[in-house]
Every structure is written in structure tokens, then in C-alpha cells.
């Protein structure tokens, strides 16, 4: 059997990996050698393990968790393909967000802060059916997507109508763990199983419209809070985002989001 196997050094060269990487894969349970010599402790690998070794290295470079990689390697071909497609989609979404952030940096470098038209008007009362979540501030985008994935099936299966657009509700100040909600407007008193009620009272609110990727929303928030301060108003939560044109309807550059922040006169 030894003649059919490769030493760890030869196997590392075959896969263009380091011996240290292969030892780490063994220690974490991702890729064990076919044979370990009982007296010397030398590891031996089969040439056919190269595919798994290369797959692990690629997935690690994509920052996939070890648990996901282990599940993919242990899965049947159909399930493995499904897991890899899901991670491909996640990576594509991350690339899209990074491109949007790069675009925001370029806008700041070239012309400073972009201009937004900010208005103050009376916002009507709204009765929302919402789903809630808690997450780190850096995970809000992903968590909103998860909330929408829970919300829409529950709304679709309910016997009450709901009025677009979808709304996102956020605290005035983001914290390490931030409580958010995503919902839709329903008739007053209507109940949707699996969702909770949120009543947004009527009152004055500063608002603006952002057209572009969600990753560039901080530019709009900057303009909105600056205008609130300049007008001597005091903001209070929850901050509201109305998703007028969402990802299912348009590419990132054409997304349309209305930002609404309730305000009151400073005492």
C-alpha cells in the first residue's frame, strides 16, 4: 500500500499547498491522511485526495467556516453542490456589497458628500406586522434579508391584505447588538400568525430618498442627520426605511429607499 501513497511533502507539492496547511486540515478533521506510520508518525496521502485538498484550500480562501466545509466534504454529490451554490451566492452578494462600498469611497474622494433633498413633513400613522431580529451592526444587511425571507411567506399565507412597500425599523443609534424589525403595513387590528404588531405614530418626520446600493445608505443618513441638526430639530426612533424598489425589482444601482426619521422641536 505504501507504494501507492504519497508522503505529505509530495502531496503538498502536488496540490500547491504547504505541509503546514495539510497538517492543519488533519488536526481540524477536514482531511485526514490515508495512512499514518505508527512508528514514525509520517502521514501518507492518496493522489485521489488532491480534489478534496484543493476544494478545502479554495473554500478557506473564501472565508467559509470550517463547519460548512466539513459538511460539504462529507455530503453526497447533490447536497455538496447545493451547499457550494449557496456559498457561491453568498460570495457574489458580498462582492456586490464591496463594489458598492468602493463606489461610495470613490464618490467621497472625487466630490465629497453627495447632495440629498431633505424635507420635513407629517408622516401618517402606520400599523405594521413585523418580524424581529438582533444582530451586530455589520450584519444588518444579511439579517434584513433573513427577515424578509420569514416575513413574505407569513404575509402570503395570511387572510389579511398588506400594503407595499416593506419597512425596516432601526434604533436611532447602532450598537454592538442591534434590535431591528422588518414589516409591512396591514389593516389596523389585523393579526398575522407568526408576526408581531408595531404601531408607528403619526407626526413630523425628516425624510429623503436614496437611489443606489444599500451599502451607500450611510451617505443618505449623513445628509439626513445633518439637515435635522441644522434645522434645530431633535430626532427620535425608530428610524424607518421604506424599500420602494427592492433587489427583486432592480439592480443595486437602481434600488430606491426612503429614509424617515421622526423629529420634534428642541425644547
Structure confidence at residue 71 (pLDDT): 85
Within the chain, strands assigned E span 6-7, 35-36, 43-45, 119-123, 126-135, 163-170, 178-185, 196-200, 203-211, 233-235, 239-245, 256-265
Indicate the pTM of the whole model.
Answer: 0.64
Structure confidence by residue, pLDDT tens digits, 112-154: 556 789 999 999 999 999 999 999 888 888 899 999 999 999 9
CATH T-level topology, domain 6-74? Multidrug-efflux Transporter Regulator; Chain: A; Domain 2 (1.10.1660)
Average pLDDT over residues 50-58: 85
Dihedral sign from CA coordinates of 151, 153, 155, 161: positive
Phi and psi at residue 241, to the nearest 5°: -120, 125
The reply to whether 6-74 and 119-265 are identical in fold is no
Average pLDDT over residues 166-176: 91
- Helix (H/G/I), strand (E/B), else coil: 203: strand
Q: Which CATH number fits domain 119-265: 3.30.565.10, 2.70.98.10, 3.40.50.920, 3.20.80.10?
A: 3.20.80.10
The domain limits of the chain are: 6-74, 119-265
* Best-predicted range by mean pLDDT (33-42, 54-63, 119-128): 119-128
Amino acid at each position: 500500500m505504501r507504494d501507492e501513497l504519497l508522503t505529505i511533502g509530495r502531496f503538498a507539492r502536488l496540490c500547491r499547498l504547504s505541509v503546514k496547511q495539510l497538517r492543519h486540515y488533519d488536526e481540524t478533521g477536514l482531511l485526514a491522511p490515508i495512512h499514518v506510520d505508527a512508528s514514525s508518525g509520517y502521514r501518507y496521502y492518496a493522489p485521489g485526495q488532491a480534489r478534496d485538498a484543493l476544494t478545502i484550500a479554495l473554500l478557506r480562501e473564501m472565508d467559509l467556516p470550517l463547519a460548512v466545509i466539513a459538511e460539504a466534504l462529507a455530503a453526497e454529490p447533490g447536497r455538496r453542490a447545493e451547499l457550494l451554490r449557496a456559498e457561491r451566492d453568498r460570495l457574489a452578494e458580498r462582492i456586490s456589497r464591496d463594489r458598492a462600498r468602493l463606489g461610495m469611497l470613490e464618490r467621497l474622494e472625487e466630490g465629497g458628500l453627495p447632495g440629498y433633498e431633505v424635507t420635513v413633513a407629517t408622516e401618517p400613522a402606520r400599523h405594521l406586522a413585523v418580524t424581529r431580529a438582533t444582530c451586530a451592526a455589520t450584519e444588518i444587511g444579511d439579517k434584513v434579508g433573513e427577515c424578509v425571507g420569514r416575513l413574505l411567506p407569513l404575509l402570503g399565507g395570511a387572510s389579511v391584505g398588506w400594503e407595499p412597500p416593506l419597512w425596516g425599523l432601526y434604533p436611532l443609534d447602532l450598537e454592538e447588538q442591534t434590535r431591528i424589525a422588518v414589516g409591512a403595513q396591514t389593516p389596523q387590528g389585523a393579526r398575522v400568525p407568526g408576526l408581531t404588531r408595531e404601531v408607528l405614530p403619526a407626526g413630523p418626520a425628516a425624510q429623503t430618498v436614496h437611489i443606489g446600493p444599500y451599502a451607500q445608505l450611510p451617505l443618505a443618513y449623513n445628509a439626513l442627520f445633518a439637515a435635522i441638526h441644522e434645522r434645530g430639530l431633535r430626532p427620535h426612533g425608530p428610524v424607518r426605511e421604506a424599500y420602494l424598489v427592492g433587489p427583486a425589482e432592480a439592480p443595486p444601482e437602481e434600488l430606491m429607499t426612503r429614509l424617515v426619521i421622526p423629529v420634534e422641536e428642541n425644547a
